[in-house]
Chains A and B, each alone.
Chain A
Amino acid sequence: MKCESCNKKLATVHLTEIVDSEKKERHFCEDCAQNVTNHFPKAPSPSDILTSLINQVSPEIREMSKTTCPVCGLSYLEFRSQGRLGCPMDYNVFKKGLLPLIERMHGSSQHVGKVPANAGVEIIKKNELIQLRKELNESVEKEDYEKAAELRDKIYELSGNVEDGD
Chain B
Amino acid sequence: MEIKDLSDKTGEWLRGTGKESDIVISSRIRLARNIVGFPFLSRSNLKQRKEIESLLKKTIIESNITKDISYVNLNNATSIDKLLLVERHLISKEHAEGEGDRGVAFGKSETISLMINEEDHLRVQVIRSGFELSNTWETTDEIDNILGKTLNFAFSARFGYLTACPTNVGTGMRVSVMVHLPALGMTKHIEKVFNAVGKLGLVVRGLYGEGTKVSGDLYQISNQFALGKSEKEIISIIESVIPRITSYERMARKALVLESKDQLEDRVWRSYGMLKAARMITSEEILQLLSQVRMGVNIGLIDDIEIQTLNELFVLTLPGHLQKLQGCELDSTQRNIIRASYVRKRLDGL
Q: Who on chain B is nearest to A114 by CB?
A: B231
A82 within 8 A of B: yes
A43 within 8 A of B: no
Whether the Cβ atoms of A113 and B160 lie closer than 8 Å is yes
Cβ of A101: which chain B residues have Cβ within 8 Å of it?
166
Q: Say yes or no: A108-B228 contact (C-beta < 8 A), given A88-B162, A118-B152, A126-B154.
A: yes
Tell me which residues across on chain A come within 8 A of B169, comparing CB atoms: 91, 102, 106, 111
Q: With A and B bound together, what is the CA distance between A98 and B48 in angstroms?
A: 26
Whether the Cβ atoms of B148 and A118 lie closer than 8 Å is yes
Using Cβ atoms and an 8 Å threshold, which residues of chain A touch B231? 113-114
Give the number of chain B interface residues (Cβ < 8 Å).
47
Of A4-12, A16-24, A129-137, the one touching chain B: A129-137
Instruction: Judge whether A117 and B159 touch: CB under 8 Å.
Output: no
Encoded as 1 (CB less than 8 Å from any A CB) or 0, chain B from 295 to 312 comes to: 000000000000000000
For window 191-230 of B, CB contacts with A under 8 Å fall at 201, 224-230
Q: Please indicate the chain A residues that have their CB under 8 angstroms from the CB of B149 in the complex.
A: 117-118
CB distance from B92 to the nearest CB of A (A): 15
Give B76-97 as 1s and 0s: 1 = Cβ < 8 Å from A's Cβ atoms: 0000000000000000000000
**How far, in whole Å, are A71 and B37 apart by their CA atoms in the complex?**
11
Can you list, as one digit per residue, whether each of A96-111 has a CB less than 8 Å from chain B (1) or not (0)?
A: 0010011001111111
Q: Is the C-beta of A77 less than 8 angstroms from some C-beta in chain B?
A: no
Question: Across the interface, do A117 and B148 meet the contact criterion of CB distance under 8 Å?
Answer: yes
Does B67 interact with chain A (Cβ within 8 Å)?
no
Q: Measured between alpha carbons, how far is A128 from B119 in the docked complex, in Å?
A: 23
Q: Does A42 contact B (CB under 8 A)?
A: no
A106 touches B228 (CB 8 A): yes
Contacts of B165 in A (CB 8 A): 83-85
| Chain B residues in 8 Å Cβ range of A129 | 36-37
Q: Can you list the 9 inter-chain pairs with the closest CB atoms, starting with the nearest?
A: A108-B228, A111-B160, A129-B37, A126-B36, A86-B43, A106-B227, A88-B154, A87-B39, A113-B171
Give me the interface of B with A, judged by CB distance under 8 Å.
34, 36-40, 42-43, 45, 47-48, 54, 119, 141, 144-145, 148-149, 152-167, 169-171, 173, 201, 224-231
15 additional A-B pairs beyond A106-B170, A109-B227, beta carbons within 8 Å, are A71-B39, A82-B42, A84-B119, A91-B162, A102-B159, A106-B226, A106-B227, A109-B158, A113-B171, A114-B144, A114-B161, A122-B152, A125-B36, A126-B37, A159-B152
